[in-house]
Structure 1
Amino acid sequence: MLSIEQLTEEILSLPSALRALLAEKIIESLESDTDPTIQAAWINEAHRRRDEIRNASVQAIPGDEALVQVRRLLEQ
């Protein structure tokens, strides 16, 4: 069996399209380990946030602006 370092070296030598496919497969394998109750709660939360934006009860801000705000908060 390959060590993590050897495996990483092998993976990083693959073309980017194959690395992306492998990353997708790994993420899918992790998602199947998620507790269905937790997964349902996150889906409900995503729908709630989507609906808040659609009905204008919250104002969306650009991602780069959000990151600036988060960094400012972390510096305090």
Structure 2
Amino acid sequence: MSQTAESLSQQAAQLPPAERMELVERILDTLDTPDPNLDALWAKEAEDRLAAYRRGEISALPLAEVLGKYTVKTSGA
């Protein structure tokens, strides 16, 4: 990491959590620029996966099962 980045990182660490989150979002937004080549690769991958599914080469899971893996379970107390 460059000296500038290190300095900025140390300064950012001193911010309140809400401001750090906003800063992170702004930085991530700068990385989220469309890339037609990458989009084309992902479209081809999606088409290939769908074709493989339709041929019976791969299976799928119900959406509820997939989302269930990420649901926070709370105790009934």
Instruction: Give the TM-score of the pair, scaled to structure 2.
Output: 0.48
Greater Rg by CA? 2
TM-score (norm 1): 0.49
